[in-house]
């Protein structure tokens, strides 16, 4: 039988530590004396004292070693485990279901043992994404698939971006389905080309800073319905689709869209403003060339893009991207070829700055019968000779112009590289220190109209600035890589849709996209079933937007047939007007 030596000469490690600490704290022996008695070092005794005082030492007796008895699993539980495994549930899921449904507490290891005994092999390793969870444990949205409005009969859901449905009538007027078909854009069985384009457009219309932020709308069924889907495609799907489009696809898409917008009379096309814009790129390994960025006042790496704007409507009607420096001088001729295919018989006056092209290219424009207005590059000798010239004062009819009565000198000149004579108009008294030298091949237009036409070239610069601010044209550095030209064309389309919306809102015809978004597009809404409202029941036009009624349109499902009335098709009621023919993606 164990006697005194059981306490003075313990054999188990846990008991030795216990007796050593008891001798140190109760018998108040020194660390050296305790170490000699129990076979420890002085440093180890000091460590034991520290761990005990800080509560980091477990002195409880361990369970006896040896093989533990296995948990006995009944035949009924075994059958349930096997049935759940046939549904490809993991051992952890099965253990949780047994506890929740059968109140049987069983470990995951026991479930794995039973599965092995029943002849089930292990499931292949799955990521958290495959089992419906992200790394942070958040839910994963459903896979995007096609839906039709008629399939949602009786359903009701909320949408935080319901304002995009305001643009549905305009998309129908532009024939967006036919535009995509003419462009021959690729699609898939799950997501057609039209749904891809509408998904990109929806994000543009909402002013999303980057397409990578599509995850913010992954659970919005209303936004997915706008594209004819249950929800918007994921970030990777959008990026992959963008890079599946080549230059021909994008050019055909732009040409088809602009052609239909021209048929609606959105462009006058008699005067076109042209300007370059550098989309900056800050990557260290960028292979892009360096171009002049006027907004930043310096040369930097980026993608050179071109914008052509209708001077009267201020609508963008042509874009180009990924332009190399050696190709920049030819862009004016490429635009002319494009515009003549879209608007045959219309020869516009082209307005651009001095660095847009070269004098030999101006000769080609003159030979093609195209009028242009541009600037002459001025040097010190050119400026010094201005003082000896005679000037006359003219009036430019523009209400908001700060200097409406500048001084001009009109003459004809010849320039190296240009075949023939040019008309030169020197303008001063415009608030600038140095005079401006306008050159044009238009020898007949009155000088006041000529100067006024060039003075409105700033509209294209304002249009580009708005595209950068609201449509985030410069957002290239992003987890989602989108072709620059495709993004620029989408910006053109979104700008056109906002302009069409502004023309339908009294008092807001001249507002920019950001203001229209704040007052009308931004806001929540819901889908519901309803009868087509009678015209006398429609809301009256409002002169000021009401925040509680920002959504001016609601989608309605099929209504039942009533006596003397045809059944109501899927429709939109927008600002008190009804659209008889629903867009193709909702049929």
**pLDDT in tens for each of the 587 residues of the chain?**
566 777 777 877 888 888 888 888 888 889 998 898 888 899 999 988 888 888 888 777 665 555 555 667 888 888 889 888 888 888 888 888 888 887 788 888 888 888 988 888 888 877 666 665 565 556 667 788 888 767 777 677 778 888 888 999 999 999 999 999 999 999 888 899 999 999 999 988 988 766 556 667 777 888 888 888 888 888 888 888 888 898 899 999 999 999 999 999 999 888 999 999 888 776 665 667 777 776 667 777 788 889 999 998 899 999 998 888 888 899 999 999 999 888 877 788 999 988 899 999 999 999 999 999 999 888 888 888 888 888 888 888 776 777 888 888 999 998 988 998 999 999 988 888 888 899 999 998 899 889 888 888 888 888 888 888 888 777 764 434 458 889 899 999 999 999 999 999 988 988 888 889 888 888 766 555 443 333 333 333 333 443 333 333 333 332 223 333 333 323 344 333 344 444 444 44
Rounded to whole angstroms, how far apart are CA atoms 419 and 412? 13
| pLDDT given for residue 551 in this prediction | 31
Rounded to whole angstroms, how far apart are CA atoms 234 and 140? 11
In the three-class reduction of DSSP (H, G, I as helix; E, B as strand; rest coil), residue 392 is classed as strand
Q: Are 520 and 505 in contact (CB under 8 A)?
A: yes
Query: Which helix or strand (DSSP H or E) is residue 79 part of?
Result: helix 75-86
| pLDDT given for residue 405 in this prediction | 86
Rounded to whole angstroms, how far apart are CA atoms 184 and 353? 36
Q: How far is CA 167 from CA 211, 381, 515, 553, in A?
A: 19, 55, 15, 10
In 3D space, the residue among 314, 310, 361 whose CA is nearest the CA of residue 334 turns out to be 361
Q: How far is CA 364 from CA 334, 420, 454, 481, 519, in A?
A: 12, 11, 21, 38, 47
∠ CA 418-419-424 to the nearest 5 degrees? 60
| pLDDT given for residue 525 in this prediction | 64
In the three-class reduction of DSSP (H, G, I as helix; E, B as strand; rest coil), residue 497 is classed as helix
| pLDDT given for residue 63 in this prediction | 55
Instruction: For residue 322, give the DSSP letter.
Output: E
What the block records as the tokens of 2 is 């164990």
Cα dihedral 438, 440, 444, 445 in deg (nearest 10): -60
Rounded to whole angstroms, how far apart are CA atoms 121 and 172? 55
Burial (CB < 10 A; 0-12, 13-18, 19+), residue 141, is middle
Report the first-to-last Cα separation within the chain, whole angstroms: 92
Q: How far is CA 537 from CA 90, 425, 532, 533, 576, in A?
A: 58, 59, 10, 6, 9
> What is the DSSP code string of 129-188?
TTTTB-TTS-B-PPPP-B--GGGGTT---EETBGGGGGGHHHHHHHTHHHHHHHHT----
Q: Are 392 and 408 in contact (CB under 8 A)?
A: yes
Burial (CB < 10 A; 0-12, 13-18, 19+), residue 257, is buried
List the domain boundaries for the chain.
Answer: 5-53, 71-140, 148-327+468-587, 353-456
In the three-class reduction of DSSP (H, G, I as helix; E, B as strand; rest coil), residue 578 is classed as strand
Max CA pair span of the chain: 130
Rounded to whole angstroms, how far apart are CA atoms 123 and 364? 71
> What is the DSSP code string of 87-130?
TT--HHHHHHHHHHHS-----HHHHHHHHHHTTPPPPPP--TTT
Q: Which residues contact 51 (CB under 8 A, 6 or more apart)?
A: 57
In the three-class reduction of DSSP (H, G, I as helix; E, B as strand; rest coil), residue 6 is classed as helix
Rounded to whole angstroms, how far apart are CA atoms 460 and 272? 9
| pLDDT given for residue 567 in this prediction | 30
Instruction: For residue 575, give the DSSP letter.
Output: T
Rounded to whole angstroms, how far apart are CA atoms 102 and 104? 5
What the block records as the tokens of 526 is 């819901």
| pLDDT given for residue 479 in this prediction | 38
Rounded to whole angstroms, how far apart are CA atoms 24 and 456? 94
Look-up of token digits 């071109």: 306
What the block records as the tokens of 252 is 């055909």
- Other CB atoms within a 10 A radius of the CB of residue 209 amount to 11
| pLDDT given for residue 9 in this prediction | 76
């Amino acid at each position: 039988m164990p006697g005194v030596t059981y306490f003075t000469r313990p054999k188990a490690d846990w008991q030795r530590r216990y007796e050593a600490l008891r001798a140190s704290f109760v018998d108040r022996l020194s660390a050296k004396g305790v170490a000699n008695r129990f076979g420890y070092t002085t440093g180890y005794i000091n460590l034991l004292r520290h761990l005990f005082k800080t509560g980091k030492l477990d002195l409880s007796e361990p369970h006896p070693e040896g093989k533990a008895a296995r948990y006995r699993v009944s035949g009924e539980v075994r059958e349930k485990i096997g049935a759940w495994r046939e549904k490809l549930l993991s051992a952890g899921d099965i253990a949780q279901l047994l506890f929740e449904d059968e109140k049987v507490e069983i470990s995951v290891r026991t479930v794995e043992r039973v599965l092995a005994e029943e002849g089930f092999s292990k499931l292949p390793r799955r990521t958290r994404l495959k089992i419906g969870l992200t790394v942070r444990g958040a839910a994963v949205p459903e896979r995007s698939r096609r839906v039709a409005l008629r399939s949602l009969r009786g359903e009701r859901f909320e949408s935080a971006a319901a304002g995009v449905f305001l643009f549905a009538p305009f998309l129908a007027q532009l024939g967006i389905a036919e535009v995509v078909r003419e462009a021959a854009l690729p699609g898939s069985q799950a997501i057609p080309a039209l749904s891809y384009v509408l998904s990109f457009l929806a994000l543009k219309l909402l002013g999303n800073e980057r397409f990578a932020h599509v995850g913010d709308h992954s659970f919005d069924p209303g936004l997915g319905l706008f594209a004819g889907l249950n929800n918007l495609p994921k970030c990777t799907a959008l990026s992959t689709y963008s890079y599946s489009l080549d230059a021909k696809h994008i050019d055909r898409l732009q040409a088809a869209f602009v052609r239909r917008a021209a048929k609606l009379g959105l462009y006058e096309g008699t005067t076109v403003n042209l300007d370059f814009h550098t989309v900056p790129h800050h990557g260290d390994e960028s292979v892009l060339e360096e171009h002049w960025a006027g907004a930043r006042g310096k040369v930097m790496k980026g993608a050179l893009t071109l914008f052509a704007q209708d001077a009267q409507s201020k609508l963008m009607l042509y874009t180009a991207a990924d332009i190399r420096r050696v190709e920049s001088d030819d862009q004016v001729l490429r635009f002319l070829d494009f515009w003549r295919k879209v608007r045959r018989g219309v020869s516009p006056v082209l307005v651009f700055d001095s660095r847009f092209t070269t004098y030999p290219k101006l000769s080609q424009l003159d030979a093609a019968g195209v009028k242009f207005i541009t600037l002459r590059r001025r040097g010190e000798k050119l400026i010094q000779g201005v003082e000896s010239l005679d000037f006359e004062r003219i009036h430019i009819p523009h209400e908001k112009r700060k200097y409406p009565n500048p001084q001009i000198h009109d003459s004809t000149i010849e320039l190296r590289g240009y075949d023939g004579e040019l008309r030169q108009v020197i303008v001063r008294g415009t608030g600038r220190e140095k005079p401006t030298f306008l050159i044009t091949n238009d020898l007949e237009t009155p000088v006041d109209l000529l100067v006024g036409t060039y003075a409105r070239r700033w509209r294209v610069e304002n249009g580009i600035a708005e595209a950068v601010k609201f449509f985030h044209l410069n957002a290239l550095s992003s987890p989602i890589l989108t072709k620059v030209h495709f993004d620029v064309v989408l910006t053109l389309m979104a700008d056109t849709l906002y302009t069409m919306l502004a023309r339908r809102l009294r008092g807001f015809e001249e507002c920019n996209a950001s203001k229209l978004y704040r007052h009308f597009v931004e806001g929540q809404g819901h889908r519901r079933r309803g009868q087509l409202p009678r015209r006398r029941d429609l809301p009256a036009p409002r002169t000021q937007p009401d925040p509680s009624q920002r959504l001016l349109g609601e989608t309605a499902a099929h209504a039942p047939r009533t006596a003397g009335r045809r059944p109501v098709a899927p429709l939109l009621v927008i600002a008190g007007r009804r659209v008889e023919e629903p867009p193709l993606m909702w049929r």
